[in-house]
Structure 1
Amino acid sequence: MPRPGLKPPEGVPAEGVQGLGRRIAVIRQRHSLSMERLADMVGASAQAISDLENGKTNFPRADLLSRFADKLGVRLDWLVLGREPMLYREENVTRRQQIATEAGHQAQVVQDSLDKLRPILRELQGAAGLPSSLEDQQ
């Protein structure tokens, strides 16, 4: 349940932010997106995504809701109200949305790999007596 005093806009069911957050979490996970990646895609912070998914925040602005729907490839009324169908046409997720989702996932895989390789590279550079960054060269 959302914190006391956090009310969704008029016309949004009593479950309000909680239901919206659950739907965002479901579709984010379906697309294999981290909170950080989704935050980058919609122009929010990962903490804001976490708070939203857990019903700990005010109902988001309309422009942010629209970006969520667009980037996740779902209908805005499904996202906000839970009205089916979730997609414009279940069988017709646009190619652009598929590419964006795949690119987001691939970018996360690359970033994770780079994060794992950085310490190894620093160790090798140190063992070879090379500076570990451009800052060390000055």
Structure 2
Amino acid sequence: MTSTTSAYAPAVIPDELARTFTGILWAAANIAATRPEVVDAITEAVREIGGVNYDQQLTVESVCVKAAARRDPCALNPMLPGRRWASWAPGLTERERWDCLAEIADRWSDPSDRDTGLRPGRWDEPTTS
């Protein structure tokens, strides 16, 4: 019997970027990839980072919700508020959650972020054993 596994290399987020939109998104993507039982990776990332204002969290969630809606319009639980990430995340696969968060983090990243030490998270190619 063979099995296929992929390894995740988490994003490295320098302290000076931790409370930026990019830092929050990469922290959430890391959580989505390494702790899939956490449905609301954005709220968890904000909690772990600390010092993030509520408006900033809502902006991050709003952008992520729009990406989730484009990816899978049927993922929303109709009993929950559609503007919150926790309402969409359960309808996405674990990998889709990471894809949404990482795609937006990469889009919002400034080229100078890498000079500061940001290293985006990534999935290594699957290996078969």
Query: What TM-score, normalized to structure 1?
Result: 0.27
Q: Which has the higher strand share?
A: 2
TM-score, normalisation: structure 2: 0.29
